[in-house]
C-alpha cells in the first residue's frame, strides 16, 4: 500500500501519521509496514536537542496505526466520521534500542485475537535486524 491507500485506511494526518508504506498485509493475520524516521519530525526538537531520540510512545503509536490498518483491512471497511479506532491497552512493552533520525522502522503486527470488538496484537518495531520495541497492544473501534 502506498501513502494514498494508507490515508484511506487511517484518519491520522501530519504530524500524527506514522506509517509511510505497507509492504505486506494478510487480512486477519499480519501486517508489515514502514516508518521512515527523519530529523525533521516535530518531536526531535525537544527529545533531545543534543541527541535526537524518537519517543518510545511514538513508536508504540506507529505500531498501533499499523494494527488499525490491519483491522480495517480484515473488516473490509475504512474509517469514517461516526467512529474512532481507540488504543485501549499496552502490555509487555519493552524498549530495546533507541530510534534515531535516519532509521527505518519495520513495523510488524500480528493479530492474536479479536473478541467482541477488542483486538489484541503482538507487535515489534525493528531497525534492520535489531528489535527496537516490542509489545502487546489492544485496540477497539467505537462509535462516537
Which residues carry out catalysis? 47
Asked if residue 15 has a cis previous peptide bond (ω within 30° of 0), the answer is: yes
How far CA 116 is from CA of 102, 120, 139, in Å, comes to: 40, 11, 11
Amino acid at each position: 500500500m502506498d501513502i494514498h491507500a494508507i490515508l484511506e485506511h487511517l484518519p491520522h494526518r501530519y504530524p500524527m501519521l506514522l506509517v509511510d508504506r505497507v509492504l505486506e498485509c494478510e487480512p486477519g493475520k499480519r501486517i508489515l509496514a514502514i516508518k521512515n524516521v527523519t530529523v525533521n519530525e516535530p518531536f526531535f526538537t525537544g527529545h533531545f536537542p543534543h541527541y535526537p531520540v524518537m519517543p518510545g510512545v511514538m513508536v508504540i503509536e506507529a505500531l498501533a496505526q499499523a494494527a488499525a490498518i490491519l483491522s480495517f483491512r480484515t473488516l473490509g471497511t475504512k474509517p469514517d466520521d461516526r467512529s474512532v479506532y481507540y488504543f485501549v491497552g499496552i502490555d509487555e512493552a519493552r524498549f530495546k534500542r533507541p530510534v534515531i533520525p535516519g532509521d527505518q522502522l519495520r513495523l510488524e503486527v500480528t493479530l492474536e485475537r479479536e473478541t467482541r470488538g477488542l483486538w489484541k496484537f503482538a507487535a515489534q518495531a525493528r531497525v534492520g535486524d535489531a528489535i527496537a520495541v516490542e509489545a502487546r497492544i489492544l485496540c477497539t473501534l467505537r462509535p462516537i
